[in-house]
Structures are given as structure tokens and as C-alpha cells.
């Protein structure tokens, strides 16, 4: 079945571009072939042919960078599954390949080192072997659970409307759904989202399906600001939902009243009243018109006095917008595109999963995820140095629930 008909056209276009070597073109051709093979096998074994036919019958596999990412990331994900089938993962065939995994990955538009070429070939082999393993399944022997089907339909609709850059997000959701053999761990959409955010910390999902977005919003919390922690230069509303800068006081001692260890006396920040030690939590922050803000979470023991660096090393997991510079405050800081700056920010904390994720609420798109281990209570934290414009915690309209809907693929043959 000719699933991806655009391969030849893309390769011909590359041949006319001098920055690609013959090896680059050959590698891209092989990657396209592997992706085509995967799509064809998944289409063959699926009962839900109408959904998958829309997902697979197209010619848009993305640019070389996206194809390379897809192959490398899914090779890592499929190793455990393939090991169960053939015994030893292909990546363990030689010390050269193991050494290649330790090398940094260059952009596909740049010449690749021999180690990187080995890594890419090995990854292509892993995906090809997994596609072959699907041939042992009878035609139409795999059926999708209801919410898996729903997400596939939503992704297909988004692709048609131009909300997805190419067909790869649909294909990888199908793959992720098929390889899950422990549905009791959570819903397939949840597992898919958390895995994508672990693969790609920034801009992992450009449009989150409605059912997944609803699943996130079901964990909405009523976050309120704690005036006992607020820098004295900040003004808080009576309902504890809004904050802005009242007056900038440069000194950290003489102009302030007697401070406690809970109160910020340097940075202009304030902490939420309630902390979290387990579970999933979600809240939203209105930031429209603001050019200076800090939003995220802190561990309970994180320093609040003076002007210590507020980053992951000191127990702060935050995004920071300052003078058109947008960053995730890792160590060193991760520079984010200003195109990702939201007017309304969604914050999703999953303590057991070890993820703190940020979303553009209006676009329903992913911005950034911190992957971390939260070993103590964490609190929402907010900061700003702007006067006249509130940073506001807004009501999401969601209703927190602990109901877990299990969905999975089952084999009928």
C-alpha cells in the first residue's frame, strides 16, 4: 500500500540543495521507508480502518528533522517491547552502537559523525523489526478503546484543519496505543501526553485533543495566594486571586517590616496557600498584557530570602518572561521562543509522574515540561514587577475528580 506518496518528491527536492550529502539523502529515504512500513502494518491489523485510513493515507511525513526525531525517539521507546519479542534489543549488538548513543545528535541538515550514523541506522532497524513483528497478527485483529478512537478522530480533524504540522503525531499516537500492555497504569491519552512531554520538553504537542484537555482540567484546584509569603512590595487582592507590584523597594532590610522565613524579602514573589505532596493538580493564570512574570512551583524548603538564583538547583521550577526574554529556569536556563508566550497559562502538576507542564490555554498547546522528582511538598509560586496590570489566577470551570477511565487496544484474533 502506497501510504506516504510524498517520499520521492521530498528526496528530489533535497538533491537540489547542496547542504545535503548523498548519505543524508540515503538516510532520509530509509527513514521514510521505515515510516511507510510502520503505517502500512498498523493499518492492516487495525479493525478501526476508517480512522486509521484517514491517519495513514497521506503524503505528509514532515521535514528531515522531524523524521529523524520520530525514528530516534521511537527506537528508544520500542526497545523493551522488542526485547520481549526477539530477546536482545538491536542496540546491544555492538559496542560501537552503544558508544553512538552517548554522542550528541546534530541537526539533520548538518554532516553526521560515524557514531551518529550508527545510531540512526540502529534506530531504523529497531522500528523496522517492530513493524515486522506486527505481521504475525491477523488482519483486523486489533481494536481500539473508545477514548483512543476519539483522540484519533480529533487528531485527524486537526491535521485536516492545519493544526498539526504533519501526520507523524497521529502515527505515533497509534503506535503508543498499540504497545501499551498495562492499561491499569492510566488512560492511553494520559500516557501518550506524558511520554511526548518527556521526549520533548518544549513545544511537544501543538494542539492537545479535546478529550486529553478535559482530562487535564478535571484536576483543577482552587489556588489562592498566601499573604504571609508575599514580598511587601506586592499588592494582593482580598480574594487572594490577583497580584501586582505596588512599589519597588530596592533595599532588603531597612525599609521592610520584621520578616519571617516564609516571606520574600528580595524577589517579588508570593506562594500559594496550599501545597501538594501527591496527585495531579491544575490551575490557570491570566497574563494578558503582562511583560514581566514568573509562574511555577517551589519545594517547601526552597529559599525565599534575598536574591538567590531561582532555578531548579534551589528548588524552583518556573517559567519566566522578562523584557521579551522567555525562559524555563533550568540550570543553565532553557531559552524558549517568544512565540510560545501565552495570554493565559495552564499549569499542570503530576507528582507521581514527575512532571510540571505549562500550556497555552487559548491554543491548547504545550509550552514546556519540567521532568523532576518531587521529594517534598511543593507550592504554586507567582512573581511580577509590573504595576497596573494584575497577574490573576482564574477559575477554570473544571470539577476535580478522581475517576479514571481505562482505555486500551485489545487483540481479538
Phi, psi of 156 (to 5 degrees): -60, -40
**Other C-beta atoms within 10 Å of 294: how many?**
22
Which tens digit of pLDDT belongs to each residue from 178-221?
766 544 444 667 777 887 888 789 988 888 888 889 889 999 99
* Cross-strand bridge partners of residue 197: none
At residue 408, the pLDDT reads 34
Phi, psi of 107 (to 5 degrees): -65, 150
Q: Rounded to an integer, what distance in angstroms lies between the CA atom of residue 382 and that of residue 220?
A: 17
3-state secondary structure (DSSP) of residue 174: helix
Q: What SS3 state is found at 205?
A: coil
Average pLDDT over residues 58-73: 73
- Whether this model's pTM surpasses 0.75: no
Q: What is the pLDDT of residue 58?
A: 56
Percent of the chain with pLDDT over 70: 69
Whole-number mean pLDDT of the chain?
A: 77
Three-class SS of residue 54?
A: helix
The per-residue pLDDT for range 119-177, each reduced to its tens digit, is 888 888 888 888 888 888 788 776 666 666 767 777 777 777 777 777 777 777 777 76
Closest CA to 252 of 305, 208, 202, 213: 305
Tell me how crowded residue 248 is: count the other CB atoms within 10 A of its CB. Answer: 9
Cell of 339: 512565540
All domains of the chain in start order, with CATH:
31-52+151-181 (no CATH), 217-247+259-394 (2.60.120.920)
Q: What is the pLDDT of residue 338?
A: 95
All three cell numbers of 323 = 523584557
Give 320's contacts (C-beta < 8 A, 6+ positions apart): 293, 294, 326, 327, 328, 329
Task: Tell me the mean pLDDT in the region 73-88.
Answer: 70
pLDDT at 400: 55
58 backbone dihedrals φ, ψ, rounded to 5°: -160, 175
Helix (H) or strand (E) holding 153: helix 146-160
How many CB atoms are closer than 10 A to CB 203?
Answer: 15
Residue 284 has pLDDT above 60, yes or no: yes
Residue range 323-352: mean pLDDT, rounded: 96
Whether the Cβ atoms of residue 370 and residue 312 lie closer than 8 Å to each other: yes
Amino acid at each position: 500500500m502506497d501510504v506516504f506518496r510524498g517520499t520521492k518528491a521530498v528526496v528530489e527536492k533535497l538533491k537540489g540543495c547542496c547542504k545535503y550529502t548523498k548519505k543524508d539523502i540515503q538516510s532520509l529515504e530509509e527513514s521514510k521507508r521505515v515510516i511507510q512500513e510502520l503505517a502500512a502494518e498498523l493499518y492492516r491489523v487495525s479493525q478501526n480502518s476508517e480512522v486509521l485510513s484517514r491517519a495513514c493515507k497521506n503524503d505528509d511525513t514532515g521535514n528531515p528533522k522531524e523524521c529523524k526525531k520520530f525514528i530516534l525517539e521511537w527506537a528508544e521507546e520500542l526497545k523493551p517491547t522488542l526485547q520481549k519479542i526477539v530477546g536482545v534489543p538491536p542496540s546491544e549488538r555492538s559496542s560501537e552502537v552503544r558508544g553512538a548513543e552517548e554522542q550528541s545528535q546534530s541537526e539533520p541538515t548538518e554532516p553526521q559523525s560515524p557514531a551518529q550514523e550508527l545510531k540512526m541506522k540502529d534506530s531504523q532497524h529497531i522500528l523496522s523489526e517492530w513493524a515486522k513483528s506486527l505481521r504475525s497478527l491477523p488482519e483486523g485483529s486489533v481494536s481500539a478503546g473508545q477514548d483512543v478512537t476519539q483522540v484519533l478522530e480529533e487528531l485527524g480533524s486537526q491535521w485536516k484543519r492545519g493544526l498539526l504540522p504533519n501526520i507523524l503525531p497521529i502515527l505515533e499516537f497509534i503506535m503508543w496505543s498499540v504497545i501499551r500492555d498495562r492499561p491499569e497504569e492510566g488512560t492511553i491519552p494520559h500516557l501518550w501526553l506524558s511520554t511526548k512531554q518527556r521526549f520533548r520538553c518544549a513545544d511537544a504537542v501543538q494542539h492537545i485533543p479535546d478529550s486529553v484537555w478535559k482530562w487535564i482540567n478535571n484536576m483543577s484546584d482552587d489556588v489562592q495566594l498566601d499573604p504571609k509569603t508575599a514580598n511587601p512590595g506586592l499588592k494582593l487582592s482580598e480574594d487572594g486571586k490577583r497580584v501586582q507590584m505596588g512599589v519597588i523597594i530596592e533595599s532588603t532590610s531597612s525599609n521592610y517590616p520584621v520578616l519571617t522565613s516564609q516571606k520574600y524579602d528580595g524577589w517579588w514573589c508570593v506562594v500559594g496557600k496550599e501545597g501538594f505532596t501527591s496527585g495531579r493538580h491544575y490551575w490557570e493564570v491570566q497574563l494578558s498584557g503582562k511583560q514581566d512574570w514568573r509562574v511555577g512551583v517551589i519545594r517547601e524548603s526552597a529559599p525565599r530570602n534575598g536574591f538567590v538564583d531561582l532555578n531548579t538547583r534551589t528548588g524552583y521550577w518556573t517559567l519566566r518572561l522578562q523584557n521579551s526574554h522567555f525562559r524555563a529556569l533550568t540550570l543553565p536556563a532553557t531559552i524558549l521562543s517568544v512565540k510560545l508566550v501565552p495570554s493565559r497559562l495552564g499549569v499542570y502538576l503530576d507528582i507521581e509522574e514527575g512532571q510540571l507542564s505549562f500550556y497555552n490555554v487559548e491554543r491548547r498547546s504545550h509550552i514546556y515540561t519540567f521532568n523532576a522528582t518531587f521529594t517534598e511538598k511543593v507550592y504554586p509560586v507567582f512573581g511580577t514587577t509590573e504595576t497596573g496590570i494584575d497577574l490573576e489566577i482564574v477559575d477554570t470551570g473544571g470539577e476535580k475528580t478522581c475517576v479514571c477511565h481505562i482505555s486500551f487496544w485489545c487483540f481479538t484474533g
